[in-house]
Structure 1
Amino acid sequence: MLNKWFFKHIDNSALIVFRIIFGALCFLEAAGAIFTGWIRRTLVEPNFTFNFIGFEWLQPLPGDGMYYYYAVMSFFGLLIMVGYKYRLSMIAFTLMWSGTYLMQKSSYNNHYYLLMLLSALMIFLPANRYASVDAKIHPEIKSNAMPQWCRIVIILQLFIVYTYAAKAKLYPDWLNTNVMETLMRGKKNYFLVGELLQEKWLQYFLAYGGILFDGLIVPLLLYKPTRKYAFAASIVFHLFNSFVFQIGIFPYLSLAFTLFFFPSEVIQKLFLKKKTHYDTCEIIIPKTRNLFVSVFFIYFIIQIALPLRHHFIPGDVLWTEEGHRLSWRMMLRSKTARTTYWIENKANGKRFRLKLREHLTKKQVRSASAKPDVIWQFSQRLKDHYKANGMDIAVYLDCKVSVNGRPYQTLINPDIDIASVPWHVFKHSPWLIPTK
């Protein structure tokens, strides 16, 4: 039964159109990073980047290297769009995007993580079987059909993202609009809508509307009677996010996902009028079906489990951020910090205050003042830096953090040398003081 469900062939119009849009968006994301100054601010100006722990060997290329890196990545986006050397181009883009994602987290964004996952999934999808250069050069690969699992993996991945995003919003500061008020405060000068965004009734509408949208959008798109209304709501929701929050390609990528919810006949008639619609529903079970089904379930078990891990770590994830990353916890809180680093020379016990801007960019200072994992990494880097200059040091912090405008509280135990403690991936770090 499972084999028939996974391997029944369906029309591939949605996947073909999605590949074209996906490639175009990959190109725009990479090229846009060059022209908007994102690369300069995030990867060129810093002396180093705060990589994901365990990927310390990943650091930006020197000089103008990262500009060339992104130019090559944008080129692979174009190759994906036109479907030339699709598999190779998709692998190259995935590796390059994963590299730049893992090498820095000052600009951490769930959408970047989603693009990494989608890129990896797209490697295995037969998205170049129609309307591609590959299909023109090699007519034998041309096809109007795809296995149904190609549609299932996209929808299931999307369902996981939205469901966890909705679940994460169910906490007091979101429900009483403290978070939305903080987010909108910085939009006050927006043309036409700035003052409107400060209205309390609108903030309540956006807060609760966000929960309902994230929690219901996938089921409503799957259900035929509500599909058109859900699609209209998606357009409004994502264009609003694009304008107000300026989150890159994600709103448009999310709209592209809706291709997989509409009947393939509709997609084919709208976008691929010369294409013959496939409706044979042939079932072709590959010899590697057992391996495929195993990998499928393992992948999605991991996707379901990762966002749950913070429940098994003591403390409030909004405060400690242990289990925060890779969990679809999007735009949930605002943090400000008052942090001082004290460097102690172990040889004589003398302390001095570290001037953060001598080591970090303005953006990095914000991360190294409030985010525990970045604080720990910076402390290790400081220890290595001073050791190279012949000084054995300890690093102590006076770190007070405010979440969503609440009173400042101490985050880091000021009596612990952060440079000498280990980092725990799936355990609570005892040098983090619980919130009151």
Structure 2
Amino acid sequence: MDKFLFKHIDNTGLVLWRVVFGALIAIEAFGAIATGWLRRTLIEPTFTFNFIGLDFLQPLPGNGMYYYFVLMGIFGLLVLVGYKYRFSMACYALMWSCVYLMQKTSYNNHYYLMMLLCWLMVFLPANRWFSLDAKLNPALKSPSVPRWTYLVVIFQVWIVYTYASVAKWYPDWLDATVTELFMKGKADYWLIGPLLQLDWVHWAIAYVGIFFDLLIVPLMLWRRTRLLGFIVSVFFHLFNSIVFQIGIFPYMSMAFALFFFSSEILQKRFLPKKPLYTAGEVKVPNYKPLLISVFSIFFIVQIGLPLRHWAFKDDVLWTEEGHRLSWRMMLRSKGASLIVYTKDKNGGERKVYPYQKLLSKKQRRSVKSKPDMLWRLAQEVKKAEAEEGRDVQVFMDVKLKVNGGVYHQFIKPDVDIAAQDWHPLKHHEWLEPSPADYHKK
């Protein structure tokens, strides 16, 4: 075990990954400002759908979040050049974690993966070559790192891809229903729009998605299939970038290849002046027990979180309970309608409440099909009414359709949602049971 984890290997791949990763997280921060993502997600809304229980995480007032993201971008650039690397990486990791946890309107698995990678990078000695830190402090300079620094990233990526594949093993994905629905919205794309409407393309996307996610890490691990895996990876991720426009994730995914290709190839192509480390020393650090304990707990959580939906009473595809933090990526298409009612506890009729006034345009599109966001909306409606001197019950009439199916009642309309407690690890009985045919057209 010591030889497997603590044998030193050449660090060219890790050093190059730091450069690429630093560039990408800087682009993510500055790009959020340039594209209007920051304005739409954190500045325009009167409140954000933070992860429940983390209400203290709120956007800074005024233009504060612009300065916040500029500072994040600067930390990303410092990671790129390797200056005050661990401090810069830790600051970016903390700031991005706060952004991720303070809003769910723009929730996606890619942001979650970026958060995990940022924290992993804090622990990795990625600044020991080709960095300002190594230039300013020659004692830090080293051409090698222990093997575990590569293994933790590879294992994290393997977990992501494996769960992403397994989650697709259900009827609406296997019969290409979901990919057909996704592609309908791409019909006006220049040049490729008509191609994306073809039936065989929908089937190809569905099954390439399953097998790519399942096999890409094994293909990259085996030397004989590594080049094939890389070529397929480039095509797959460029396709996703063009068609789905999902930011830096496709390019970050392609950059994972740096952990698989041999140091000889990487050193010759990108860092020809760097000596190639081949000594293979085994150096067991004093902090070995702590290191193994921390990463064992981390990966047990990473393996366990995506399985937690099996402990819930109903189907995660319907309830969304256990959906987040589980690598259930690009998995389903949902449509929903929402009517909010309030009723004064002192008597009176139910009244339709114009909940839209509390939400930004982007929030209105996200809230209707997600129980945790609906629950939070009910709390905000109750709070807004309380500010007007009214103590009200909040009822919701929500109808949901999944993967182009028919609409079904999603929330029990006679339950005061604002009076319910939120249980992150327990099924909520105010959700209607999933109909037997809810995903049928």
Give the equivalent residue in structure 2 for 1:407: 406
Give the equivalent residue in structure 1 for 2:346: 347
Question: Which residues in structure 2 correspond to 1:258-407 (within 5 Å)?
Answer: 258-407=257-406
| 1:206 corresponds to 2:172 | no
CA distance in 2, matches of 1:334, 1:271: 42
| 1:12 corresponds to 2:11 | yes
Question: Which residues in structure 2 correspond to 1:192-203 (within 5 Å)?
Answer: 192-203=191-202
> TM-score scaled by structure 2?
0.98
The one-letter code matched in structure 1 to 2:363 is Q
Displacement of 1:350 in angstroms is 2.5
Give the equivalent residue in structure 1 for 2:142: 143
- Report Cα offsets for 1:302-353 as digits up to 9, x if no partner: 0000000001111110110000000000010111111100011111132211
**Partner SS for 1:402:** strand
- Report Cα offsets for 1:389-418 as digits up to 9, x if no partner: 321111101110011110000110011100
The one-letter code matched in structure 2 to 1:21 is V
Displacement of 1:40 in angstroms is 1.0
Displacement of 1:250 in angstroms is 0.4
> TM-score scaled by structure 1?
0.99
CA distance in 2, matches of 1:418, 1:367: 18
Give the equivalent residue in structure 1 for 2:118: 119
Give the equivalent residue in structure 2 for 1:80: 79
**Partner SS for 2:62:** coil
Q: Report if aligned partners of 2:50, 2:102 keep a CA contact under 8 Å in 1.
A: yes
- Report Cα offsets for 1:241-274 as digits up to 9, x if no partner: 0000000000000011011111111111111110
CA distance in 2, matches of 1:11, 1:263: 9
Q: Report if aligned partners of 2:19, 2:80 keep a CA contact under 8 Å in 1.
A: yes
Give the equivalent residue in structure 2 for 1:42: 41
Give the equivalent residue in structure 1 for 2:248: 249
Displacement of 1:370 in angstroms is 1.3
Displacement of 1:166 in angstroms is 0.1
Give the equivalent residue in structure 1 for 2:25: 26
Displacement of 1:297 in angstroms is 1.0
Question: Which residues in structure 2 correspond to 1:178-189 (within 5 Å)?
Answer: 178-189=177-188
CA distance in 1, matches of 2:208, 2:79: 35
Give the equivalent residue in structure 2 for 1:109: 108
- Report Cα offsets for 1:261-311 as digits up to 9, x if no partner: 111111111111100000000010011111111111111000000000001
Displacement of 1:358 in angstroms is 1.1
| 1:221 corresponds to 2:220 | yes
- Report Cα offsets for 1:57-106 as digits up to 9, x if no partner: 11111111111111110010000000000011001000100010001010
Name the Cα RMSD after superposition: 0.8
CA distance in 2, matches of 1:349, 1:316: 37
CA distance in 1, matches of 2:366, 2:21: 31
**Partner SS for 1:397:** strand
**Partner SS for 2:229:** helix
Q: Report if aligned partners of 2:355, 2:381 keep a CA contact under 8 Å in 1.
A: no
Give the equivalent residue in structure 2 for 1:425: 424
Give the equivalent residue in structure 1 for 2:439: none
**Partner SS for 2:368:** helix
The one-letter code matched in structure 2 to 1:365 is R
Unmatched 5+ stretches in structure 2: 436-441
Q: Report if aligned partners of 2:29, 2:69 keep a CA contact under 8 Å in 1.
A: yes
- Report Cα offsets for 1:101-149 as digits up to 9, x if no partner: 0010100010000000000000000000000000011010000000100
Q: Percent identity?
A: 56
Unmatched 5+ stretches in structure 1: none
CA distance in 2, matches of 1:368, 1:116: 23
> Paired residues, what number?
435
CA distance in 1, matches of 2:46, 2:191: 40
- Report Cα offsets for 1:31-51 as digits up to 9, x if no partner: 111000111111111111100
Q: Report if aligned partners of 2:179, 2:202 keep a CA contact under 8 Å in 1.
A: yes
CA distance in 2, matches of 1:386, 1:342: 12
Q: Which runs of 4+ in 1 moved over 4 A?
A: none
CA distance in 1, matches of 2:54, 2:348: 33
CA distance in 1, matches of 2:121, 2:301: 18
